[in-house]
Every structure is written in C-alpha cells, then in structure tokens.
Amino acid sequence: MIFNGKTILVIGGTGSLGKVFVKRVLSGELGTPKKIIVMSRDEAKQHQMRMSYLHKLVATEEVIYNNFKNALEFRIGDVRNYADVCSAVKNADIVVNAAALKQVPTCEYFPTQAVLTNCLGASNIVRALEENSYPVNTVISVSTDKACKPVNVMGMTKAIQERIIIAANILNPETRFICVRYGNVLASRGSVVPLFHEQIKNGGPVTVTVPEMTRFLLSLNQAVDTLFAALRSAKRGETYVPIASSATVLNIAKALIGKRKIDIKITGIRPAEKLHEILVSEEEVTRCVRRGDYYAILPMLPELRNLNQNEPAALKKEFGSEDTALDLAGTVTLLKKHEIMIGDIDLSQGEELLR
C-alpha cells in the first residue's frame, strides 16, 4: 500500500489527470495517505475542486479557513517559481509533476512560456531537492508521446523535461526520479473527443485533419493506472509507457457520429502536427523491457543502468500508433469500454447495430 501515511504533492493537480489521480488516491485503493497537497495557479479551479469534495460535509467558510488542517490541502503556487516549489515539496514524500502547457498551437505561438512551465518547472523541482536536501522519496513526471522524436514545441519541451527528471537521479541518490509517457487521453480538456461531441451537437461538420492520421488513446483512469504502476515498480531513471491501443481520427469521428446525418470535413494536417505518434522510438527499443501491461524504458546514462539487467528487450521496432490502429469496430468497442458517448453505428451493412 504505497500511499499509506504518505504526503503526496500533486503539482498541476486541478487538471484533468490531477483530479482523477487525487480521487483515486483518496479512495484508499493503494493505502490511506496522510495528506494530499494540490498546487496550481488557478484559484477558481481549486475552489471548484475543493467544493466538489467537501461542501456536503461542512460549511463553506469552515472548509476554506481550515484548508491546512484538511487531508486534502490546496495551495496557490506556480511550478515556474522556485520559492513556491520549495514551500510545497519540503514536507512531501511523493511529488507528482502534472503541470504542463500541453496544447500544441499554444506552445507554437508561445514557445518561451512552454519552456518556462515544462522545462524550468521540472528544473525547479530538482533544484529544490538538490539545494535543500528535502527528504522526498519519489518524484514522478508526466510526459507525452509527442516527446518521442518531437516535431513541435510541446513535444520538444516535454522531451527535455524527461531528460531533466531522469538525469536528476545522478546527483540526488536519496530520491527516485521516474517518468510516465502516454498518448491522447480520452475526454480530457482540449482533446479531440470533446471537440467532436461539440461539433456533432451543433449539427456538424465534424472536422478531421487527415483521414489516415492515428493517435494512441487511453482513458483518464488508464493514465492514472500508469502512474500507479510506475510508483509501485519503476526503478530510478525509468519511464513507464502503457501498451495502449490506437485508432484513426476518421474512425473516432465515424464512431461518435454513428448514423446521424452529419458531414465530415477534411481540413488538412495542422502546423506542428504528426501524422502518426510514437511511444517508444527505434533508438529506445534496445533498452525497452516489458513490465506487465507496460513497457519500461531504461535510462541511457551509464551511471543509472543496472549492468546485471537480465530483462530482454521487449520490442524489435518502434512502438507507433500506425502499427496498432484499430478498425472501426475496434474503435467503437474501445470508446464504449471507456464510456465515451457514441452514436448508433451499423458495422455490417445493416446486420449489426451497436448502441
């Protein structure tokens, strides 16, 4: 029970992933934590999250003014600010870095801002532990498939974030620094599924960039499962990757539309966008091993490699979304499994109807 009696800091904890992570931790499935600290910049999102947990139990004023007595504590702070980071991490046992600028167009237009959040933020966490010897047991940082052979600013900054976190193990031997890397999270803010639902609600058209474009897909709970798996089992310097399904964007659109009379409009690939994503590159294949439902990418720095590592390489080629894309029926099954609202769709020329 890895969370028993632990203080867990979730930086960026009011985001889609952070909220589900906190809910799962509070459920006690991996032990009862001493405290969960949610740190973010947005007081409105913090207030909304606080009320969703506590407003039925006690009066609003009592919740707000006893914030630091509660097991779920909220802090206004910015991962870009070193002092804020120091204040938050100093009493934590586990630090989850989920703070990010993650929208590709935003990062392209404001690359310096992406560097400040995604790179400097990670550096501030490492620096806080390095300079102050805070007794943090584990730091886990959330990355993305776009960090693998990156072509856009978001991916580039996340790739550097991974390297900052992994390299931190060398000068901070008392703390385990690890990463997780995964693809598109279904129904998260800014993802394609809410966009398609909104377009369908308004009568279309549903805009698809390129019909053959593929993306890895997993639910928010699968993303949290990946974090939990890494926190349980990852060794210092390892990056955990879920063995996730993928689908074409066109099949996602078709599944959501179903038999409704809504047009699909092909708009063309957007700036800084890949046709297919990669979760494990061909350069990483030789140091990628299987751990249950996950791949673990071993660190490339020799100081962090276990020379007696006997685990065989799990892959012979890179793990890309093009190679594992589901057909339309598989896409429908995947979306239904994760309770994504889809339209009625005829998969066999009128003989089979999935609802």
Residue 339: per-residue pLDDT? 74
Question: Do residue 38 and residue 23 come from a single domain?
Answer: yes
Using 50 as the pLDDT threshold, list the residues of the chain that sit under it: 57-63, 348-355
Pick the last residue of a domain from 134, 160, 182.
182
Question: Do residue 173 and residue 214 come from a single domain?
Answer: no
Q: What is the pLDDT of residues 237-277, one digit of tens each?
A: 999 999 999 999 999 999 999 989 999 999 999 999 999 99
The whole-angstrom separation of Cα 116 and Cα 173 is 26
Q: What is the pLDDT of residues 142-196, one digit of tens each?
A: 999 999 999 999 999 999 999 999 999 999 999 999 999 999 888 776 678 888 9
Question: Do residue 52 and residue 196 come from a single domain?
Answer: no
Residue 212: per-residue pLDDT? 95
Pick the last residue of a domain from 167, 182, 197.
182
Residue 324 lies in a domain: yes
Question: Do residue 175 and residue 190 come from a single domain?
Answer: no
Burial of 287 (0-12, 13-18, 19+ CB in 10 A): middle
Residue 311: per-residue pLDDT? 82
Given a contact cutoff of 8 angstroms between Cβ atoms, the answer to whether 224 and 164 are in contact is: no
Residue 344: per-residue pLDDT? 64
Question: Do residue 141 and residue 195 come from a single domain?
Answer: no
- Tally of structural domains, the chain: 2
Residue 263 lies in a domain: yes
Residue 127 lies in a domain: yes
- In whole angstroms, how large is the CA radius of gyration of the chain? 21
Residue 138 lies in a domain: yes
Sequence-distant (≥ 6) Cβ neighbours of residue 211 within 8 angstroms: 248, 249, 250, 266
Question: Do residue 178 and residue 203 come from a single domain?
Answer: no
The whole-angstrom separation of Cα 16 and Cα 187 is 9
Pick the last residue of a domain from 141, 156, 182.
182
Residue 295 lies in a domain: no
Question: Do residue 178 and residue 196 come from a single domain?
Answer: no
Question: Do residue 143 and residue 189 come from a single domain?
Answer: no
Question: Do residue 108 and residue 240 come from a single domain?
Answer: no
Q: Which residues participate in catalysis according to the annotation?
A: 146
Q: In Å, how far from its chain's centre is CA 177?
A: 16
Q: What's the CATH code of the domain at 207?
A: 3.90.25.30
Given a contact cutoff of 8 angstroms between Cβ atoms, the answer to whether 142 and 17 are in contact is: yes
Residue 293 lies in a domain: no
The range of the structural domain enclosing residue 132 comes to 1-182
Question: Do residue 133 and residue 187 come from a single domain?
Answer: no
The whole-angstrom separation of Cα 220 and Cα 24 is 11
